[in-house]
Amino acid sequence: MIEIYGSQAAREVAEAMREKLQVQTPVLAMILGSGLGKVAASLESPRKVSYGDVPGFPKVSVAGHAGEATAGKLEGREVLVFSGRPHMYEGNAAAMVAFPVRVLHALGAKVLFLSNAAGGIRRSYRAGDLMIIEDHINLMSQNPLTGPLQEGDDRFPDMSEAYDAQLRKLMREAAPDLSVTVHEGVYAGLSGPSYETKAEIRMLERLGADAVGMSTVPEVIVARALGMRVAAVSCIANVASGLSSLPVSHSEVLDTTGRVSDQFVKLIRALVRAL
């Protein structure tokens, strides 16, 4: 499994994608989560391809994940957007979930932006807020680097500054121009697909997590092993289990992310302008 989704396979998939999208080296590469793919529709001179039309690229099946790669310009800069991602809860190994990051690196990307929908654990968070991720807690039971060392990887990557401090600063500076509340906090990654129990949320709160979701962590680990700079934002799609009287549902997640998508695009534009 590790070999199938390693560096050699990434180069082969990258070449196929380069040909289909006429990809130039992107100043920023993005992998966008549930309901947050509106950035792709904002690109100038877009070239688009379905994941299913790129041999060897992982497929996605979750509602709100378009499963498309789009190349184009944003704020006059070349970017590459992956709208949708595979998840471990679909039966995928962590190495496969993070494989799109290897493809982006093989396409020349040095800076990676990730987004996800997350449940808010910190009591001050409200649905529709954005959280710049400053650190994470990996509770997904797997590490995507387990197995033979892949070409270009650091065997023991330092994760003490997994989320680039300068990129976080750029996003904080853009926050006052957005009509949504922007926080900075710690993301807990769980494998899913069931949402957390009330007891699990109490545990995560005591561990220091501010939000919880089912993605992103494997991608960040591989990106850091490859020496990429990483920035990530969670859309607080719902208040986590036990902190509200309402049940948690995926339809609620998509409703909330859709509501803040315009502000999310503004944040991405500001980041691209500053790079």
Q: Which of 9, 118, 211, 214 is catalytic?
A: 214
Terminal CA-CA length for the chain = 35
Q: Which of 66, 117, 237, 240 is catalytic?
A: 117
250 is catalytic: yes
According to DSSP H, which parts of 125-216 are helical?
165-174, 198-207
136 is catalytic: no
* Helix or strand run (H / E) with residue 72: strand 68-74
90 is catalytic: yes
Q: How many angstroms separate the Cα of 58 from the Cα of each of 50, 95, 188?
A: 11, 11, 24
Q: Which of 42, 215, 241, 261 is catalytic?
A: 215
Neighbours of 8 (CB within 10 A): 13
- Return the ∠ at Cα 160 (arms to 155 and 162), rounded to 5°: 80
143 is catalytic: no
Neighbours of 148 (CB within 10 A): 10
CA 193 to CA 179: how far, in whole Å? 31
115 is catalytic: no
CA 169 to CA 25: how far, in whole Å? 24
According to DSSP H, which parts of 38-143 are helical?
38-41, 94-97, 99-106
Q: Which of 9, 65, 136, 231 is catalytic?
A: 65
195 is catalytic: no
228 is catalytic: no
Q: Which of 90, 134, 184, 252 is catalytic?
A: 90
Q: Which of 5, 17, 29, 34 is catalytic?
A: 34
Q: What is the DSSP letter of 52?
A: G
Q: Which of 238, 240, 241, 261 is catalytic?
A: 238
Matching residue, tokens 């990557």: 157
Q: Which of 7, 16, 89, 159 is catalytic?
A: 89
CA 65 to CA 36: how far, in whole Å? 8
Q: Which of 7, 250, 270, 274 is catalytic?
A: 250
Asked whether 93 and 1 are in contact (CB, 8 A), the reply is yes
Asked whether 273 and 50 are in contact (CB, 8 A), the reply is no
117 is catalytic: yes
CA–centroid distance for 164 within its chain: 14
Q: Which of 29, 87, 106, 223 is catalytic?
A: 87
Positions annotated as catalytic residues are: 34, 65, 87, 89-90, 117, 214-215, 238, 250
